[in-house]
């Protein structure tokens, strides 16, 4: 006769194996080393998906295969103050967005640029170029609570520029994102504000990652509860493009999104003890 405690354990195991992820198809179970994954980027030249963890973790770039196994590591000569996203340009250079700014009080915002040659080399330690920047509209550190729009977790490279999507910390405007551009050259720059957009009015509307496809015809913004797909992209005015929002039925801390191809996204989430810690495929139109 099975004991009550054993029955409970069996039921928990069955439930955990049948976690419903909706249309998010699990394609890789990430190791605990990447439990706080915050950025992913596909590098076809080196046949890896590069990944990083966010603040408080080692300044290491991890190369992961299609099964989620770490097959390469590169130590970056820079502090992981708050690494929040990755992107690559068409030449194979990688950018690490060290621009997380929860309290809107940082004056150390920057993007770390790693060349294609450094990624391909056998060197285990890399010294990146540093793109320092500030938001010209921000005058106080931190600003008043109703003006805290200077956190950022999302960016991509397009047309020789970096496009940053901020994350609002204003209580009643969590879905508001400011779009800024930056040059890709090392030095100190002022980000240029080019547009503002509101993703949704739900509790999980923060933009946590973004990507654009290789042809520049589609853009995606990831939030906690959905992904917004902008198609027939207007290169001069992204937010005037056709938009379709896909809501997730599976709740987790989704932090990263990239195009696998024009109809498939790869999405990564953090491991929260009982859920997450995976890479998913997600189909879009």
Most confident of 10-14, 208-212, 223-227: 208-212
Q: Beta strand pairing status for 125-126 and 70-76? A: parallel
Question: Number of structural domains, the chain?
Answer: 1
Report CA dihedral (227, 158, 28, 6) to the nearest 10 degrees.
Answer: -40
Condensed to tens digits (0 to 9), the pLDDT of residues 119-157 reads 999 999 999 999 999 999 999 999 999 999 999 999 999
User: For residues 278 and 64, is the Cβ–Cβ distance under 8 A?
Assistant: no
What's the CA gap between 70 and 180, in Å, rounded? 33
- As given in the structure block, the two tokens for residue 181 are 């551009």
Closest CA to 230 of 203, 255, 210: 210
Does residue 151 lie within any of the structural domains? yes
- As given in the structure block, the two tokens for residue 192 are 């240029």
Quick check: bond before 142 cis, omega within 30?
yes
What's the CA gap between 84 and 154, in Å, rounded? 7
The enclosing domain of 139 has a CATH number of 2.120.10.30
pLDDT at position 1 is: 47
Q: What is the CA radius of gyration of the chain?
A: 19
Least confident of 3-7, 52-56, 80-84, 261-265: 3-7
28: containing domain = 20-283
Q: Name the one residue in this structure whose structure tokens are 């890789």.
A: 28
Condensed to tens digits (0 to 9), the pLDDT of residues 163-188 reads 999 999 998 899 999 999 999 999 99
Assign 215 a pLDDT band (cuts: 50, 70, 90): very high
Average pLDDT in the chain = 92
Does residue 55 lie within any of the structural domains? yes
Question: Residues of the chain with pLDDT > 70: what percent?
Answer: 93
Assign 22 a pLDDT band (cuts: 50, 70, 90): confident
Assign 20 a pLDDT band (cuts: 50, 70, 90): low
Give the distance, in angstroms, between the CA of residue 30 and the centroid of all CA atoms in the same chain. Answer: 16
Task: Sort 137 into a burial class: Cβ within 10 Å, 0-12 / 13-18 / 19+.
Answer: middle
- As given in the structure block, the two tokens for residue 101 are 């700014």
pLDDT above 70: residue 15: no
Does residue 5 lie within any of the structural domains? no
Q: 136 Cβ partners below 8 Å, 6+ apart? A: 190, 191, 193
Angle at 128 between CA 123 and CA 130, to 5 degrees: 180
Number of H helices, E strands in the chain: 2, 22
Does residue 96 lie within any of the structural domains? yes
- Which neighbouring-strand residues pair with 62? 51, 73
- As given in the structure block, the two tokens for residue 48 are 């890896």
Does residue 256 lie within any of the structural domains? yes
What's the CA gap between 237 and 194, in Å, rounded? 9
């Amino acid at each position: 006769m099975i004991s009550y405690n054993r029955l409970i354990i069996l039921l928990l195991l069955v439930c955990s194996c049948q976690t419903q992820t909706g249309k998010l198809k699990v394609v890789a179970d990430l190791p605990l080393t990447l439990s706080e994954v915050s950025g992913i980027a596909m590098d076809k030249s080196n046949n890896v998906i590069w990944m990083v963890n966010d603040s408080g973790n080692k300044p290491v770039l991890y190369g992961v295969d299609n099964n989620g196994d770490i097959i390469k590591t590169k130590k970056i000569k820079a502090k992981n103050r708050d690494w929040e996203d990755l992107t690559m340009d068409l030449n194979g250079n990688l950018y690490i967005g060290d621009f997380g700014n929860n309290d809107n009080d940082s004056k150390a915002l920057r993007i770390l640029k790693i060349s294609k040659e450094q990624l391909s080399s056998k060197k285990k330690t890399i010294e990146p170029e540093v793109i320092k920047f500030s938001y010209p509209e921000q005058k106080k550190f931190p600003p008043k609570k109703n003006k805290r729009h200077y956190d950022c977790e999302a960016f991509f490279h397009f047309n020789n520029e970096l496009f940053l999507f901020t994350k609002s910390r204003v209580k009643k405007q969590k879905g508001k994102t400011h779009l800024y551009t930056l040059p890709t050259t090392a030095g100190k720059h002022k980000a240029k504000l080019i547009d503002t957009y509101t993703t949704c009015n739900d509790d999980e509307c923060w933009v946590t990652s973004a990507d654009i496809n290789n042809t520049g015809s589609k853009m995606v913004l990831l939030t906690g509860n959905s992904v917004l797909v902008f198609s027939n992209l207007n290169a001069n005015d992204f937010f005037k493009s056709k938009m379709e929002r896909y809501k997730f039925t599976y709740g987790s801390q989704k932090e990263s999104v990239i195009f696998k191809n024009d109809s498939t996204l790869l999405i990564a989430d953090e491991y929260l003890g009982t859920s997450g810690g995976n890479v998913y495929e997600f189909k879009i139109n």
